[in-house]
Homo-oligomer: A and B are copies of this chain.
């Protein structure tokens, strides 16, 4: 579908408000009525841009993924190729003020609808793969540059990091306390660090 510049702006405004409502109330708690009120668009405009909830949820998944990838590939975490960068990444999520209330912007959405009768599964799988690739690529570079030992498995460690983050976020939401997220990420990164090559290895004697 082709939209005018004005149409694209209206569509973007709807997606942004839908993302915020879904993040706060969940997909099932976000009605068309709430979205019309928040975004200021009419019911017919809403239906024009998003004929059904599946279209809207797909657009929100895409929007949240782009935000995550922009953050992860920007300068904040220095390409994820040092242990320090991983610690900064963990600190970012641990200090994120909405972690205990609403959790991960993309993971909480995925967890809510993974069993729902919406055809968004392939999109979610592809987007989580892109996210995990950023972590895995950083670990690959750490190993290739000799910072991590050759027995470090970047794919496995990336799965540990992302699972610890997603599971930690869920437990933090349930407990309304950030400790499980902090503990899980700290321990997961400690594990990555255990593969670090010592900077000044002892000589053979």
Contacts and interface: CB of A to CB of B under 8 A. Distances in A.
Given A28-B28, A102-B115, A114-B108, A168 B174 contact: no
A120 to B, nearest CB: 10
A186 B24 contact: no
Given A129-B175, A174-B110, A180 B163 contact: yes
Given A29-B115, A29-B117, A183-B155, A167 B176 contact: no
A111 interface: yes
Contacts of A171: 128, 159, 162-163, 166
Interface stretch (A12-20, A65-73, A74-82, A187-195): A187-195
A114 B166 CA distance: 14
Contacts of A169: 167
Contacts of A166: 163, 166-167, 170-171
Interface string A84-115: 00000000000000000011000110111011
A70 to B, nearest CB: 21
Size bracket, chain A contacts: 35 or more
A88 B102 CA distance: 33
A184 interface: yes
A25 interface: yes
A167 to B, nearest CB: 3
Contacts of A200: none
Contacts of A58: none
Contacts of A5: none
